[in-house]
Amino acid sequence: MELSEKMKRAKKAKYTHKNSSSLFFPLILVAPTILITILVTGWPLIQTILYSFHFFQLTKPEVGMPFVGLAQYQKMFKDPLFGKTLFNTIYWTTGSVAGQFIIGFILALILNEKIKYRNFFRGILLTPWVIPSIVAAFLWYWIFNPEFGILNVILKDLGIIAAFKSWLMDPKIAMPSLILANVWKGFPFAMLMLLAGLQTIPPDLIEAAKVDGANALNRFRHITLPLLKPIIILVTILSFIWESQNFTLIWVTTQGGPMFSTETFVIRIYKLAFQAYDFGYAAAYGTLWLMILLILTIIYLRLIMGGEKR
């Protein structure tokens, strides 16, 4: 382990200027990036966390921003919507990520076979990813329309549903419906990345396993999966980060409704900040959401890395 670490370092050194004697020049080069990221990310983040301890409503400038300690956090934990929001966020994120990942993986495995017109199929299957989010949201809003939506017509013709459903207006099915639309939009990314990963696996390895008598399932479990692990981690973490803060699809179609059944943290925070103009309370929600995200990410990484040690 140590040796390979050293070799890596030695290899890296070859790619860098040896006489980087002056610290000044490289720092000048990164300075603009650091300054801008502090301005648009670091500073606003700290500011938002500070807001969460202050009363701050844009509509009441005369009150100013008095310090209120943990009052807004207490209010949040008593808020009956808090638990629902947390549940919805987990439902939405895991549903979307799992759906996108599974479908993306199946299609990546298929595209990795020696099929005809592979590039053509890959190009077609990337379509949803290329379409702007707002267009995807409009499209599905129309497809899900309770009276004239094409989904109802198709499903009824196929005999899958008996009567037209109000996909986005029924609290019981609004969330699964939106997840379906989101899986459609997002699976190509997982597919693309996993396909790229699959193509780096040397075919000899698979052939050798075949000769040794491993069946397809075993080859998949003991060769493909372990080799793909880094890319699987990357894809799931990226999708998790993106989908947990997906705003466009939900805002265009349901705005968190009906009966708060699709209200995730992002929607809740956005409503508190930009409809109620209660920046302090929104900030408390946001800060807690950030903590939850961090904890979930750490747990996930632990689980995966833990599996590696066995």
Interface with other proteins in residues 147-166 (CB under 8 A): 147-148, 150, 153
Give the count of beta carbons closer than 10 Å to the beta carbon of residue 284. 28
Q: Judged by CB, which is closer to other proteins: 37, or 172?
A: 37
Q: Judged by CB, which is closer to other proteins: 60, or 172?
A: 60
What are the DSSP calls for 83-120, one per residue?
HHHHHHHHHHHHHHHHHHHHHHHHHHHHHTS--TTHHH
Phi, psi dihedral angles at 54 (to 5 degrees): -120, 150
Distance CA 208, CA 97 (A): 33
Q: How far is the CB of 279 from other proteins (least distance, A)?
A: 6
Distance CA 155, CA 33 (A): 52
Q: Judged by CB, which is closer to other proteins: 48, or 100?
A: 48
Rounded to 5 degrees, what angle do the CA atoms 34, 39, 44 make? 125
In Å, how far are 6, 13, 32 from 10, measured between CA atoms? 6, 5, 30
Q: Judged by CB, which is closer to other proteins: 86, or 293?
A: 293
Question: What binding mask, one character per residue, do residues 191-210 give for other proteins by CB under 8 A, x or -?
Answer: -xx--xx--x----------
Q: Judged by CB, which is closer to other proteins: 34, or 172?
A: 34
Contact partners, residue 258, CB within 8 Å, separation at least 6: 168, 169, 170, 171, 174
Distance from the first to the final alpha carbon of the chain: 16
Q: Judged by CB, which is closer to other proteins: 142, or 172?
A: 142
By CB under 8 A, the residues from 267 to 286 that bind other proteins are: 269-270, 273-274, 279, 282-283, 286
Phi, psi dihedral angles at 300 (to 5 degrees): -60, -45
By CB under 8 A, the residues from 109 to 128 that bind other proteins are: 110, 113, 115, 121, 123-128
Which residue of 36, 259, 291, 298 would you call a contact of other proteins, by CB under 8 A? 36
By CB under 8 A, the residues from 69 to 98 that bind other proteins are: none
In 3D space, the residue among 264, 246, 236, 298 whose CA is nearest the CA of residue 98 turns out to be 236
By CB under 8 A, the residues from 215 to 254 that bind other proteins are: 230-231, 234, 241, 244-245, 247-248, 251-252
Q: Compute the half-sphere exposure of residue 159: CA atoms within 13 Å on the CB side of its CA.
A: 0
- From 141-149, 170-178, 202-210, 217-225, span contacting other proteins (CB under 8 A): 141-149
Which residue of 5, 20, 160, 203 would you call a contact of other proteins, by CB under 8 A? 20
Dihedral through CA 115, CA 118, CA 121, CA 122, nearest 10?
Answer: 130
By CB under 8 A, the residues from 52 to 71 that bind other proteins are: 58
Q: Judged by CB, which is closer to other proteins: 172, or 176?
A: 176
Q: How far is the CB of 85 from other proteins (least distance, A)?
A: 13
Q: Judged by CB, which is closer to other proteins: 87, or 138?
A: 138
Q: How far is the CB of 172 from other proteins (least distance, A)?
A: 23
Q: How far is the CB of 261 from other proteins (least distance, A)?
A: 19
Judged by CB under 8 A, does residue 288 bind other proteins?
Answer: no
Both tokens of residue 26? 């490289």
